[in-house]
A and B are shown apart, each in its own frame.
Chain A
Amino acid sequence: MSLASLDSATLFGLTGAALAGIGLFIVIAHAGLLRRIVGFNILGAGIFLVFGAAARRGAAAGFSGDPVPQAMVITGIVVAFSATALAVALLQRLFDLTGRESLDAPAAGDKQQAEP
């Protein structure tokens, strides 16, 4: 298939697939939890984009896209944000209690901070 025959929907769908892969890699490869939260958001953005490509292809009845997946992506973005906020709050609590920002076992030299 030549590049010129690709439409926007397919192009962005493929981008979404690549973004989901990159996001997943960040979640696995980085030990820092804050970076993992960012990776989780990129993973989600990629999946939404694949869904958006499906919505664009479903153009019918005078609409330029299928409104049902579009509405579900809006719902998804808001839910992903609330999950991110909860994850960030958990991370801050972990940091306040232990002084660490990863789930690795503390190295022998690290001193544990007591609860304030």
Chain B
Amino acid sequence: MTLLLDLALIAGLLALAVHVARASDDQSAIIGFIAFGLLLGVGWTRLAAIDVAMTEAAIGGGVTGMLLLRAEARLRERSSQARSAGRITKAAAAIGCTVVAAGLALAVLSFPSPAPTLAPAAAAALDATGLGNPVTAVLLAYRALDTLLEKVVLLLALLGVWSLAPDQFWGGAPELRRADAPQPFIYLARILPPFGVLIAVYMCWVGADAPGGTFQAGTVLAAMWLLVMLAGLRPAPETRRTTLRLLLVGGPVLFFTVGFLGFAVADGFLSYPEGAAKPIIVGIEAALTASIALTLGLLVAGPSGRAPVP
């Protein structure tokens, strides 16, 4: 029975990927990709990775899909369809890609048995932190450096996006609001955010002991904020505002501060004092959730589209 479910999921995933490759227009391909992301989220639950499933559904399907759809709408009045590659190039590409896929498949089939695993090491770290969710423990204690640097990558990406604004728009607000936002959408944008914020706070809080955590909660918050901005209920913020910039760097700066404090009160960079690990981690998670939500929302909003109001 579960084999049947797996096979149905896999057939759906492959069919949607082929659809993205073959669809004649970009919009249909992107809608296929959104469905692909949601289905892949279900696939991750079959791999017993609930945290990854939530992240994939929220980011891979949801926010990425929204970003791509907005880009497609803006590019719709493009001058001419891009020429597709020639028949010979396509055939060569198909052969090359089949070889790559076959190589990966061979690697999957020849995974060593018994499988190497770091689960016992992570379980040992779990006891020291007082957390119940091993993935959160890995993200914020056992391999906290990865998470810290990832926050820096997010900020650098946002800096890259902002720097693509034309000179005269620098510091202005991104153009998000649609002039023709339909009434039911505006109604939804009024009703949904309180529930969304509640769910995000719960996800962030429960992440210490159960599936959930900063990324998932941050993405839900970002989605609610984007909903409000798209409906025109609140304007997008001007990128030159100091409070906005301070909030953006707030999470990573707190993370760095705690990291360096580790030298004074524990055994080195990013190590937490014995017994106080859990409250510190939950505090970092809360600050990170806020700055992830802001960063993701602004990444989707794009570079500023109008001059700053003096």
- Flag A73-96 by CB within 8 Å of B: 1 or 0 each: 111011101111110111111010
Q: Which 5 A-B pairs have the closest CB atoms?
A: A21-B101, A58-B117, A17-B104, A82-B157, A13-B108
**Which among B18, B55, B85, B147 has the greatest number of chain A C-beta atoms within 10 A?**
B55
Known A15-B14, A26-B20, A30-B84; judge A77-B60 contact (CB<8 A).
yes
Contact between B67 and A74, CB atoms less than 8 A apart: no
- The minimal Cβ–Cβ distance linking A40 to chain B, given in whole angstroms, is 11
When distances are taken between beta carbons in the complex, the residues of chain B under 8 Å from A26 are 20-21
| Interface membership of A4, Cβ < 8 A | yes
* Contact call A15/B154, Cβ cutoff below 8 A: no
Residues of B within 8 A of A101 (CB): 75, 78, 82
Q: B47 touching A59 by the CB < 8 A rule?
A: no
> Is A67 a contact partner of B97 (Cβ separation < 8 A)?
no
Q: Give the chain B neighbours of A38 by CB distance below 8 A.
A: 20, 26, 29-30, 33, 68
Contact B85 A28 (CB under 8 A): yes
Who on chain B is nearest to A68 by CB?
B118
User: Using a CB-CB cutoff of 8 Å, which residues 1-47 of chain A contact chain B?
Assistant: 3-4, 6, 8-26, 28-35, 37-39, 41-42, 45-46
Q: Which of B55, B90, B153 contacts A82 (CB 8 A)?
A: B153
- Is residue B303 within 8 Å, beta carbon to beta carbon, of the partner chain? yes
The reply to whether B101 and A75 form a contact with Cβ atoms under 8 Å apart is no
Whether a CB of chain A sits under 8 angstroms from the CB of B83 is yes
User: Given A8-B47, A65-B48, A77-B55, do A95 and B111 touch, yes or no (CB 8 Å)?
Assistant: no
> DSSP majority for the B interface?
helix
Cβ of B184 to closest chain A Cβ, rounded Å: 27
Q: Give the number of chain A interface residues (Cβ < 8 Å).
A: 88
A-B residue pairs in contact (CB < 8 Å), sample of 21: A17-B105, A20-B101, A21-B104, A22-B18, A22-B97, A31-B84, A34-B30, A42-B36, A45-B36, A52-B49, A63-B119, A63-B122, A67-B118, A67-B119, A67-B134, A67-B135, A75-B139, A75-B147, A88-B71, A88-B302, A91-B71
A70: contacting residue among B43, B52, B108, CB under 8 A:
B52
CA distance A45 to B52 in the complex (A): 12
The interface size of chain B toward A, counting residues with CB under 8 Å, comes to 96
Best-buried of A4, A16, A71 by chain B (most CB within 10 Å) = A71
- Closest CB-CB distance, B203 to chain A, in whole Å? 13
Instruction: List 9 additional A-B contacts (Cβ < 8 Å) besides A14-B109, A102-B82.
Output: A10-B108, A30-B84, A33-B82, A34-B30, A48-B56, A53-B108, A71-B138, A77-B56, A84-B64
Contact A54 B115 (CB under 8 A): yes
Q: Is B242 an interface residue (CB 8 A)?
A: no
Question: Is B256 part of the binding interface, using a Cβ–Cβ cutoff of 8 Å?
Answer: no
Q: Are B115 and A32 in contact (CB under 8 A)?
A: no
Q: How far is the CA of A110 from the CA of B75 in the complex (A)?
A: 16
Judge if B94 is at the interface, Cβ distance under 8 Å.
Answer: yes
Which of A12, A18, A41, A86 is in CB contact (< 8 Å) with B101? A18
B101 and A66 within 8 A (CB): no
B120 touches A60 (CB 8 A): yes
